[in-house]
Amino acid sequence: MSVQSDVETKFEHFFKPDVRKAGAELVQKKAVSLGVSTDTQVDAFIRTSSPARVQFSSDSIESTDFLVECNCSASGKGQMCKHIWAVLVAASEKSPDFFAEKTNLEKGTRSDVDLGSAKKTKPVSDTQKAYLEAQKERQSEYRKQAYQAQKERAKGLKRGKEEADFKASKRAASTELLP
Tens digit of pLDDT for each residue in 24-33? 999 999 999 9
Let me know whether 15 and 98 are in one domain: yes
48 shares its domain with 74: yes
Question: Distance between terminal CA atoms of the chain?
Answer: 109
**Interaxial angle between packed helices 3-11 and 82-94, expressed in degrees from 0 to 180 and rounded to the nearest 10:** 150
14 and 100 in a common domain: yes
The predicted model scores a pTM of: 0.57
Residue range of the domain that includes 150: 122-179
96 and 80 within one domain: yes
Per-residue pLDDT, 86: 92
pLDDT at res. 115: 35
CA pair distance 45, 33, nearest whole angstrom = 5
28, 80: one domain: yes
User: What dihedral angle (degrees, nearest 10) is formed by the CA atoms of 157, 163, 165, 168?
Assistant: -140
Is 109 in the same domain as 144? no
Quick one: 108 and 31 in the same domain? yes
Of 74, 95, 114, the residue at which a domain comes to its end is 114
Query: In b/e form, how buried is each residue of 90-124, taking b as 16+ CB within 10 angstroms?
Result: bbbeebeebbeebeebebeeeebbeeeeeeeeeee
**pLDDT band at 105; cut points 50, 70, 90:** confident
110 and 38 part of one domain: yes
Q: Give the side-chain half-sphere CA count within 13 A for 144.
A: 6
Q: Which residues contact 28 (CB under 8 A, 6 or more apart)?
A: none
Convert the pLDDT of each residue in 149-177 to its tens digit: 998 888 888 777 666 666 666 566 555 55
Do residues 94 and 128 both lie within one domain?
no
Confidence grade of residue 82 (pLDDT, cut at 50, 70, 90): very high
Rounded Cα distance between 103 and 26, Å, is 24
Count of structural domains, the chain: 2
Instruction: Kindly report the number of other CB atoms within 10 A of residue 135's CB atom.
Output: 10
CA-closest candidate to residue 92, choices 163, 1, 19: 1
